[in-house]
Amino acid sequence: MYRQLTTPARSRRGARYSLIWLLATLLAMPAPAARAYDMAGYVYPITDPFEATVSGTPVELRHRFRNKKPMRQDNFELDVFPGRKVPPLFQPVRTLAFSLAYHESPAPLIFVISGTGGSYRSSTAEYLQRVFYQAGYHVITLSSPSSYDFITAASESQYPGNSVEDARDLYRIMQMSLALAKERVSITDVYLTGYSLGGLQAAFVSHLDEQEQAIGFRKVLLLNPPVSVYASATLLDNFVGSETGMKNAHDYFNRLFGKFTEYFAENGTISLDDEAFMFKFQKSEQSLTHEELIALIGASFRFSSAGLVFTVDALNGTGYVVEPQQELTLGTPLEQYFKRGLWWGFTDYIDQILLPHWKDRQPQGSERQLIEAIGLPALRDYLVTASKIGVITNADEIILRPEDLDFLTETFGGRATVFPRGGHLGNVQHRDYVACMLDFLSVDAGGS
Protein backbone atom coordinates (compact mmCIF):
# COMPACT_ATOMS: atom_id res chain seq x y z
CA MET A 1 0.00 0.00 0.00
CA TYR A 2 1.15 3.55 -0.64
CA ARG A 3 0.01 7.13 -0.30
CA GLN A 4 1.05 10.06 -2.48
CA LEU A 5 2.18 13.11 -0.55
CA THR A 6 0.80 16.49 -1.51
CA THR A 7 3.30 18.40 0.63
CA PRO A 8 7.00 17.72 1.22
CA ALA A 9 7.36 14.94 3.77
CA ARG A 10 10.13 16.82 5.55
CA SER A 11 7.55 19.07 7.21
CA ARG A 12 6.03 16.07 9.00
CA ARG A 13 9.20 15.49 10.98
CA GLY A 14 8.86 18.64 13.08
CA ALA A 15 11.70 20.52 14.71
CA ARG A 16 12.87 17.80 17.06
CA TYR A 17 15.81 16.88 14.85
CA SER A 18 16.59 20.45 13.71
CA LEU A 19 20.10 20.43 15.21
CA ILE A 20 20.98 17.31 13.25
CA TRP A 21 19.64 18.90 10.05
CA LEU A 22 21.67 22.09 10.72
CA LEU A 23 24.95 20.21 10.98
CA ALA A 24 24.08 18.04 7.99
CA THR A 25 23.36 21.19 5.96
CA LEU A 26 26.71 22.73 6.89
CA LEU A 27 28.57 19.58 5.90
CA ALA A 28 26.71 19.16 2.62
CA MET A 29 27.28 22.71 1.37
CA PRO A 30 28.97 20.77 0.05
CA ALA A 31 45.85 4.94 -7.86
CA PRO A 32 47.87 2.81 -10.33
CA ALA A 33 45.14 0.20 -10.74
CA ALA A 34 42.36 2.77 -10.80
CA ARG A 35 40.09 3.63 -13.70
CA ALA A 36 41.92 5.38 -16.51
CA TYR A 37 40.09 8.68 -16.06
CA ASP A 38 41.96 11.79 -17.25
CA MET A 39 43.24 13.42 -14.06
CA ALA A 40 45.48 15.85 -15.87
CA GLY A 41 42.75 18.46 -16.08
CA TYR A 42 41.33 17.84 -12.60
CA VAL A 43 41.55 21.01 -10.53
CA TYR A 44 40.51 21.07 -6.89
CA PRO A 45 42.13 23.82 -4.80
CA ILE A 46 41.45 22.57 -1.25
CA THR A 47 44.36 20.52 0.07
CA ASP A 48 42.97 19.82 3.56
CA PRO A 49 40.57 16.84 3.22
CA PHE A 50 38.56 17.96 6.26
CA GLU A 51 38.08 21.42 4.81
CA ALA A 52 37.12 19.81 1.50
CA THR A 53 34.50 17.70 3.27
CA VAL A 54 32.93 20.77 4.86
CA SER A 55 33.39 23.37 2.11
CA GLY A 56 32.57 21.32 -0.97
CA THR A 57 33.44 22.44 -4.49
CA PRO A 58 34.02 26.04 -5.57
CA VAL A 59 31.17 27.30 -7.77
CA GLU A 60 33.35 27.78 -10.84
CA LEU A 61 34.39 24.09 -10.78
CA ARG A 62 30.92 22.63 -10.30
CA HIS A 63 28.92 20.65 -12.80
CA ARG A 64 26.72 22.97 -14.89
CA PHE A 65 23.14 21.93 -15.43
CA ARG A 66 21.79 22.22 -18.95
CA ASN A 67 18.69 24.12 -17.93
CA LYS A 68 16.79 25.40 -14.91
CA LYS A 69 13.53 23.61 -15.67
CA PRO A 70 12.04 22.09 -12.52
CA MET A 71 11.86 18.32 -12.27
CA ARG A 72 8.62 16.44 -12.61
CA GLN A 73 8.61 15.04 -9.11
CA ASP A 74 6.23 13.40 -6.64
CA ASN A 75 6.72 12.13 -3.11
CA PHE A 76 5.05 8.95 -1.89
CA GLU A 77 4.67 6.93 1.29
CA LEU A 78 4.88 3.14 1.51
CA ASP A 79 3.13 1.17 4.22
CA VAL A 80 5.83 -1.48 4.38
CA PHE A 81 4.60 -3.38 7.44
CA PRO A 82 0.84 -2.82 7.73
CA GLY A 83 -0.29 -3.00 11.33
CA ARG A 84 3.18 -2.37 12.79
CA LYS A 85 2.81 -0.66 16.16
CA VAL A 86 5.26 2.07 17.12
CA PRO A 87 5.42 4.55 20.03
CA PRO A 88 3.23 7.65 19.52
CA LEU A 89 6.38 9.76 18.97
CA PHE A 90 7.15 7.79 15.80
CA GLN A 91 3.63 7.70 14.36
CA PRO A 92 4.47 10.46 11.79
CA VAL A 93 7.07 8.12 10.26
CA ARG A 94 5.23 4.79 10.52
CA THR A 95 5.22 4.81 6.72
CA LEU A 96 8.31 5.34 4.58
CA ALA A 97 8.46 8.30 2.21
CA PHE A 98 10.49 8.42 -0.99
CA SER A 99 10.83 10.73 -4.00
CA LEU A 100 10.26 9.91 -7.68
CA ALA A 101 11.49 12.29 -10.37
CA TYR A 102 10.20 11.21 -13.75
CA HIS A 103 10.03 11.96 -17.47
CA GLU A 104 6.99 11.58 -19.69
CA SER A 105 8.93 9.56 -22.25
CA PRO A 106 10.52 6.11 -21.69
CA ALA A 107 13.80 6.28 -19.76
CA PRO A 108 16.02 4.21 -17.46
CA LEU A 109 15.46 4.54 -13.72
CA ILE A 110 18.18 4.91 -11.12
CA PHE A 111 17.88 4.41 -7.36
CA VAL A 112 19.91 6.68 -5.04
CA ILE A 113 20.59 5.42 -1.49
CA SER A 114 21.40 8.19 1.01
CA GLY A 115 24.40 8.16 3.34
CA THR A 116 24.57 7.61 7.09
CA GLY A 117 21.36 8.74 8.77
CA GLY A 118 20.38 10.66 5.64
CA SER A 119 16.87 11.37 4.43
CA TYR A 120 15.72 10.81 0.87
CA ARG A 121 15.42 14.61 0.82
CA SER A 122 18.94 15.35 2.06
CA SER A 123 20.86 17.91 0.05
CA THR A 124 23.23 15.35 -1.50
CA ALA A 125 20.37 13.01 -2.45
CA GLU A 126 18.44 15.88 -4.02
CA TYR A 127 21.54 17.06 -5.88
CA LEU A 128 22.18 13.61 -7.34
CA GLN A 129 18.51 13.32 -8.23
CA ARG A 130 18.79 16.53 -10.25
CA VAL A 131 22.02 15.38 -11.94
CA PHE A 132 20.59 12.06 -13.04
CA TYR A 133 17.23 13.56 -13.98
CA GLN A 134 18.86 16.05 -16.34
CA ALA A 135 20.96 13.21 -17.75
CA GLY A 136 17.70 11.54 -18.76
CA TYR A 137 16.90 9.15 -15.91
CA HIS A 138 13.83 8.63 -13.82
CA VAL A 139 15.20 8.87 -10.27
CA ILE A 140 14.03 7.39 -6.96
CA THR A 141 15.79 8.66 -3.83
CA LEU A 142 15.66 6.55 -0.67
CA SER A 143 16.45 7.30 2.96
CA SER A 144 19.35 5.50 4.62
CA PRO A 145 18.54 2.32 6.56
CA SER A 146 20.22 4.11 9.50
CA SER A 147 17.76 7.04 9.37
CA TYR A 148 15.03 7.18 12.00
CA ASP A 149 12.23 7.06 9.42
CA PHE A 150 13.65 3.95 7.70
CA ILE A 151 14.33 2.19 11.03
CA THR A 152 10.77 2.88 12.14
CA ALA A 153 8.91 2.07 8.95
CA ALA A 154 11.05 -0.19 6.76
CA SER A 155 13.58 -2.12 8.84
CA GLU A 156 12.31 -5.63 9.52
CA SER A 157 14.48 -6.10 12.62
CA GLN A 158 14.66 -2.39 13.58
CA TYR A 159 18.36 -3.01 14.35
CA PRO A 160 20.18 -1.46 11.35
CA GLY A 161 23.87 -1.94 10.73
CA ASN A 162 23.94 -5.53 9.52
CA SER A 163 24.68 -4.90 5.84
CA VAL A 164 23.04 -8.14 4.70
CA GLU A 165 19.79 -7.34 6.53
CA ASP A 166 19.90 -3.68 5.50
CA ALA A 167 20.22 -4.82 1.88
CA ARG A 168 17.13 -7.01 2.23
CA ASP A 169 15.18 -4.08 3.66
CA LEU A 170 16.33 -1.82 0.83
CA TYR A 171 15.60 -4.48 -1.79
CA ARG A 172 12.05 -4.82 -0.47
CA ILE A 173 11.53 -1.05 -0.70
CA MET A 174 13.05 -0.91 -4.17
CA GLN A 175 10.66 -3.56 -5.46
CA MET A 176 7.67 -1.76 -3.94
CA SER A 177 8.66 1.68 -5.23
CA LEU A 178 9.63 0.29 -8.64
CA ALA A 179 6.21 -1.32 -9.02
CA LEU A 180 4.60 2.00 -8.16
CA ALA A 181 6.82 3.87 -10.63
CA LYS A 182 5.94 1.43 -13.42
CA GLU A 183 2.28 2.36 -12.99
CA ARG A 184 3.18 5.94 -13.98
CA VAL A 185 6.15 5.86 -16.35
CA SER A 186 7.86 3.66 -18.91
CA ILE A 187 11.16 2.26 -17.59
CA THR A 188 13.76 0.85 -19.98
CA ASP A 189 16.45 -0.28 -17.49
CA VAL A 190 17.22 -0.05 -13.77
CA TYR A 191 20.43 1.33 -12.26
CA LEU A 192 21.63 1.75 -8.69
CA THR A 193 23.92 4.12 -6.83
CA GLY A 194 24.52 5.20 -3.25
CA TYR A 195 26.86 7.58 -1.49
CA SER A 196 28.91 7.08 1.68
CA LEU A 197 27.33 4.22 3.67
CA GLY A 198 24.69 4.07 0.94
CA GLY A 199 27.47 3.15 -1.49
CA LEU A 200 28.45 0.11 0.54
CA GLN A 201 24.79 -0.87 0.87
CA ALA A 202 24.38 -0.60 -2.91
CA ALA A 203 27.02 -3.33 -3.28
CA PHE A 204 25.13 -5.62 -0.90
CA VAL A 205 21.84 -4.91 -2.67
CA SER A 206 23.44 -5.76 -6.03
CA HIS A 207 24.79 -9.02 -4.61
CA LEU A 208 21.32 -9.89 -3.29
CA ASP A 209 19.78 -9.09 -6.66
CA GLU A 210 22.12 -11.58 -8.34
CA GLN A 211 20.50 -14.24 -6.17
CA GLU A 212 16.88 -13.06 -6.20
CA GLN A 213 16.74 -11.73 -9.80
CA ALA A 214 13.75 -9.55 -8.92
CA ILE A 215 15.11 -6.31 -10.41
CA GLY A 216 18.21 -6.87 -12.54
CA PHE A 217 20.42 -3.79 -12.19
CA ARG A 218 22.22 -2.93 -15.38
CA LYS A 219 24.98 -1.00 -13.60
CA VAL A 220 25.80 -0.12 -9.99
CA LEU A 221 28.00 2.77 -8.85
CA LEU A 222 29.42 3.20 -5.34
CA LEU A 223 30.21 6.80 -4.37
CA ASN A 224 32.82 7.32 -1.62
CA PRO A 225 31.85 4.13 0.26
CA PRO A 226 33.48 2.83 3.43
CA VAL A 227 35.27 -0.50 3.07
CA SER A 228 35.19 -1.67 6.67
CA VAL A 229 32.12 -0.25 8.40
CA TYR A 230 33.78 -0.70 11.78
CA ALA A 231 37.06 0.92 10.76
CA SER A 232 35.26 3.94 9.30
CA ALA A 233 33.08 4.15 12.42
CA THR A 234 36.23 4.17 14.54
CA LEU A 235 37.72 7.01 12.49
CA LEU A 236 34.53 9.06 12.84
CA ASP A 237 34.30 8.41 16.57
CA ASN A 238 37.91 9.52 16.97
CA PHE A 239 37.06 12.88 15.38
CA VAL A 240 34.81 13.49 18.38
CA GLY A 241 37.65 12.54 20.71
CA SER A 242 39.94 15.29 19.40
CA GLU A 243 40.95 18.09 21.77
CA THR A 244 38.34 20.45 20.35
CA GLY A 245 35.67 17.80 20.04
CA MET A 246 32.91 16.73 22.42
CA LYS A 247 35.26 16.80 25.43
CA ASN A 248 35.12 20.58 25.28
CA ALA A 249 31.85 20.87 23.40
CA HIS A 250 30.56 23.97 25.18
CA ASP A 251 33.70 26.01 24.49
CA TYR A 252 33.96 24.67 20.96
CA PHE A 253 30.42 25.59 19.93
CA ASN A 254 30.68 29.00 21.57
CA ARG A 255 33.81 29.63 19.50
CA LEU A 256 32.20 28.24 16.36
CA PHE A 257 29.05 30.35 16.56
CA GLY A 258 31.14 33.34 17.61
CA LYS A 259 33.02 33.07 14.31
CA PHE A 260 29.79 32.76 12.34
CA THR A 261 28.34 35.79 14.14
CA GLU A 262 31.41 37.88 13.37
CA TYR A 263 31.33 36.75 9.73
CA PHE A 264 27.64 37.70 9.39
CA ALA A 265 28.29 41.08 11.00
CA GLU A 266 31.01 41.85 8.47
CA ASN A 267 29.19 40.52 5.41
CA GLY A 268 25.59 41.49 6.08
CA THR A 269 22.71 39.05 5.65
CA ILE A 270 24.01 35.66 4.56
CA SER A 271 21.75 32.83 3.42
CA LEU A 272 22.61 29.37 4.69
CA ASP A 273 20.90 28.13 1.51
CA ASP A 274 23.89 29.52 -0.39
CA GLU A 275 25.63 26.34 -1.55
CA ALA A 276 28.98 28.12 -1.54
CA PHE A 277 28.54 29.48 1.99
CA MET A 278 31.14 27.30 3.72
CA PHE A 279 33.65 27.74 0.90
CA LYS A 280 33.30 31.53 1.21
CA PHE A 281 33.45 31.31 4.98
CA GLN A 282 36.71 29.37 4.85
CA LYS A 283 38.22 32.15 2.73
CA SER A 284 37.43 34.71 5.42
CA GLU A 285 39.43 35.77 8.48
CA GLN A 286 36.96 33.79 10.63
CA SER A 287 37.76 30.47 8.91
CA LEU A 288 37.80 27.33 11.02
CA THR A 289 41.13 25.78 11.93
CA HIS A 290 42.05 22.23 10.96
CA GLU A 291 41.15 20.99 14.45
CA GLU A 292 37.85 22.87 14.43
CA LEU A 293 36.94 21.33 11.07
CA ILE A 294 37.62 17.85 12.44
CA ALA A 295 35.46 18.61 15.47
CA LEU A 296 32.63 19.92 13.28
CA ILE A 297 32.62 16.74 11.20
CA GLY A 298 32.86 14.62 14.32
CA ALA A 299 29.97 16.47 15.95
CA SER A 300 27.78 16.06 12.87
CA PHE A 301 28.35 12.32 12.71
CA ARG A 302 27.93 12.05 16.49
CA PHE A 303 24.48 13.61 16.12
CA SER A 304 23.75 10.90 13.54
CA SER A 305 24.89 8.11 15.86
CA ALA A 306 22.91 9.66 18.73
CA GLY A 307 19.78 9.67 16.58
CA LEU A 308 20.45 6.06 15.55
CA VAL A 309 20.91 4.83 19.12
CA PHE A 310 17.88 6.75 20.41
CA THR A 311 15.61 5.41 17.67
CA VAL A 312 16.70 1.77 18.02
CA ASP A 313 16.50 1.96 21.79
CA ALA A 314 13.08 3.63 21.86
CA LEU A 315 11.57 1.21 19.34
CA ASN A 316 12.97 -1.95 20.94
CA GLY A 317 12.81 -1.00 24.62
CA THR A 318 16.41 -1.96 25.29
CA GLY A 319 16.75 0.67 28.02
CA TYR A 320 20.11 2.13 27.01
CA VAL A 321 18.84 5.67 26.49
CA VAL A 322 15.11 5.63 27.23
CA GLU A 323 13.84 4.15 30.49
CA PRO A 324 12.01 0.82 29.98
CA GLN A 325 8.25 1.22 29.88
CA GLN A 326 8.59 4.97 29.21
CA GLU A 327 5.99 5.92 26.59
CA LEU A 328 7.24 8.57 24.21
CA THR A 329 4.67 10.93 22.73
CA LEU A 330 4.88 14.00 20.52
CA GLY A 331 4.80 16.06 23.72
CA THR A 332 7.60 14.20 25.52
CA PRO A 333 10.69 16.39 26.14
CA LEU A 334 13.55 14.68 24.34
CA GLU A 335 16.53 16.78 25.43
CA GLN A 336 17.67 14.37 28.16
CA TYR A 337 17.56 11.43 25.76
CA PHE A 338 19.42 13.33 23.08
CA LYS A 339 22.17 14.21 25.59
CA ARG A 340 22.44 10.57 26.64
CA GLY A 341 22.65 9.53 23.00
CA LEU A 342 25.57 11.90 22.40
CA TRP A 343 27.77 9.63 24.52
CA TRP A 344 27.23 6.83 22.01
CA GLY A 345 29.51 6.59 19.02
CA PHE A 346 29.00 4.32 16.04
CA THR A 347 31.38 1.71 17.45
CA ASP A 348 29.47 1.78 20.75
CA TYR A 349 26.29 1.02 18.82
CA ILE A 350 27.92 -1.91 17.04
CA ASP A 351 29.57 -3.29 20.19
CA GLN A 352 26.76 -2.85 22.70
CA ILE A 353 23.52 -2.99 20.71
CA LEU A 354 23.98 -4.56 17.28
CA LEU A 355 26.38 -7.32 18.37
CA PRO A 356 24.16 -8.69 21.20
CA HIS A 357 21.16 -8.63 18.84
CA TRP A 358 23.16 -10.52 16.20
CA LYS A 359 24.46 -13.06 18.74
CA ASP A 360 20.93 -13.84 19.86
CA ARG A 361 20.56 -15.54 16.48
CA GLN A 362 24.24 -16.49 16.05
CA PRO A 363 25.23 -17.71 19.56
CA GLN A 364 28.61 -18.97 18.39
CA GLY A 365 29.38 -15.82 16.44
CA SER A 366 32.12 -13.38 17.43
CA GLU A 367 32.46 -9.63 17.06
CA ARG A 368 35.19 -10.18 14.48
CA GLN A 369 32.83 -12.31 12.39
CA LEU A 370 30.14 -9.63 12.48
CA ILE A 371 32.61 -6.89 11.55
CA GLU A 372 33.88 -8.94 8.60
CA ALA A 373 30.37 -9.84 7.46
CA ILE A 374 29.17 -6.24 7.15
CA GLY A 375 32.11 -4.79 5.20
CA LEU A 376 32.94 -4.83 1.48
CA PRO A 377 35.64 -7.51 1.89
CA ALA A 378 32.81 -9.99 2.56
CA LEU A 379 31.80 -9.44 -1.09
CA ARG A 380 35.31 -9.42 -2.53
CA ASP A 381 34.92 -12.48 -4.77
CA TYR A 382 31.72 -11.02 -6.20
CA LEU A 383 33.08 -7.50 -6.64
CA VAL A 384 36.23 -8.68 -8.42
CA THR A 385 34.17 -10.26 -11.20
CA ALA A 386 31.09 -7.97 -11.25
CA SER A 387 31.94 -5.84 -14.28
CA LYS A 388 28.74 -3.82 -13.88
CA ILE A 389 29.87 -2.36 -10.51
CA GLY A 390 32.16 0.66 -10.27
CA VAL A 391 33.42 2.89 -7.49
CA ILE A 392 34.47 6.54 -7.21
CA THR A 393 36.42 7.84 -4.22
CA ASN A 394 39.24 10.19 -3.27
CA ALA A 395 42.84 9.52 -2.31
CA ASP A 396 42.38 11.76 0.75
CA GLU A 397 39.02 10.21 1.78
CA ILE A 398 38.72 10.77 5.54
CA ILE A 399 36.68 7.61 6.25
CA LEU A 400 39.22 5.27 4.64
CA ARG A 401 42.50 3.84 5.89
CA PRO A 402 45.35 3.34 3.37
CA GLU A 403 44.58 -0.39 3.28
CA ASP A 404 40.95 0.38 2.49
CA LEU A 405 41.97 2.46 -0.52
CA ASP A 406 44.22 -0.40 -1.62
CA PHE A 407 41.28 -2.79 -1.34
CA LEU A 408 39.16 -0.64 -3.64
CA THR A 409 41.81 -0.24 -6.34
CA GLU A 410 42.87 -3.88 -6.22
CA THR A 411 39.31 -5.25 -6.14
CA PHE A 412 37.73 -3.00 -8.76
CA GLY A 413 40.78 -2.44 -10.95
CA GLY A 414 39.81 -0.35 -13.97
CA ARG A 415 36.32 0.13 -12.53
CA ALA A 416 37.71 2.29 -9.70
CA THR A 417 38.27 6.03 -10.07
CA VAL A 418 40.34 7.72 -7.39
CA PHE A 419 40.49 11.51 -7.47
CA PRO A 420 43.55 12.98 -5.73
CA ARG A 421 41.55 15.45 -3.59
CA GLY A 422 38.04 15.95 -2.31
CA GLY A 423 37.81 14.48 1.19
CA HIS A 424 34.50 12.79 1.92
CA LEU A 425 32.13 13.79 -0.91
CA GLY A 426 33.56 17.30 -0.95
CA ASN A 427 33.93 17.04 -4.73
CA VAL A 428 30.63 15.29 -5.48
CA GLN A 429 29.43 18.45 -7.26
CA HIS A 430 32.69 18.82 -9.21
CA ARG A 431 32.24 18.77 -12.97
CA ASP A 432 34.81 15.96 -13.32
CA TYR A 433 33.23 13.85 -10.57
CA VAL A 434 29.81 14.19 -12.21
CA ALA A 435 31.27 13.46 -15.65
CA CYS A 436 32.91 10.34 -14.24
CA MET A 437 29.60 9.17 -12.74
CA LEU A 438 27.72 9.62 -15.98
CA ASP A 439 30.57 8.14 -18.02
CA PHE A 440 30.57 4.92 -16.00
CA LEU A 441 26.83 4.54 -16.26
CA SER A 442 27.06 5.57 -19.93
CA VAL A 443 23.52 5.17 -21.04
CA ASP A 444 21.60 6.94 -23.76
CA ALA A 445 18.92 8.37 -21.48
CA GLY A 446 16.83 10.77 -23.51
CA GLY A 447 14.05 11.79 -21.14
CA SER A 448 11.88 14.86 -21.49
pLDDT digits (tens, 9 = 90+) for 136-183: 999 999 999 999 999 999 999 999 999 999 999 999 999 999 999 999
pTM for the structure as a whole: 0.86
Q: Which of 313, 328, 361 is the last residue of a domain?
A: 361
61 in any annotated domain: yes
Residues 355 and 405 placed together within one structural domain of the fold: no
| pLDDT tens-digit readout, 92-145 | 999 999 999 999 999 999 999 999 999 999 999 999 999 999 999 999 999 999
Residues 167 and 136 placed together within one structural domain of the fold: yes
372 in any annotated domain: no
| pLDDT tens-digit readout, 312-331 | 999 999 999 999 888 888 88
| pLDDT tens-digit readout, 346-382 | 999 999 999 999 999 999 999 999 999 999 999 999 9
Closest CA to 53 of 446, 429, 317: 429
Share of residues in the chain with pLDDT > 90 (%): 67
| pLDDT tens-digit readout, 229-247 | 999 999 999 887 554 444 5
Please count the structural domains in the chain: 2
How far apart are alpha carbons 316 and 86 in whole angstroms? 9
Residues 182 and 247 placed together within one structural domain of the fold: no
Domain that holds residue 429: 2-13+32-228+377-441
Residues 313 and 169 placed together within one structural domain of the fold: no
Residues 91 and 207 placed together within one structural domain of the fold: yes
Residues 156 and 8 placed together within one structural domain of the fold: yes
Residues 290 and 189 placed together within one structural domain of the fold: no
Enter the DSSP assignment of 32: T
Residues 119 and 207 placed together within one structural domain of the fold: yes
The H-or-E segment that residue 187 falls in is strand 187-195
22 in any annotated domain: no
Residues 61 and 145 placed together within one structural domain of the fold: yes
Query: What mean pLDDT value characterizes the chain?
Result: 86
The H-or-E segment that residue 417 falls in is strand 416-419
Q: Which of 361, 394, 423 is the last residue of a domain?
A: 361
Q: Which of 300, 330, 361 is the last residue of a domain?
A: 361
Q: Where residue 199 sits, what CATH number does that domain have?
A: 3.40.50.1820
Residues 140, 176 contacting (CB under 8 angstroms): no
Cα distances (angstroms) measured from residue 203 to each of 83, 232, 341, 375: 31, 17, 30, 10
168 in any annotated domain: yes
Least confident of 38-47, 175-184, 190-199, 373-382: 38-47
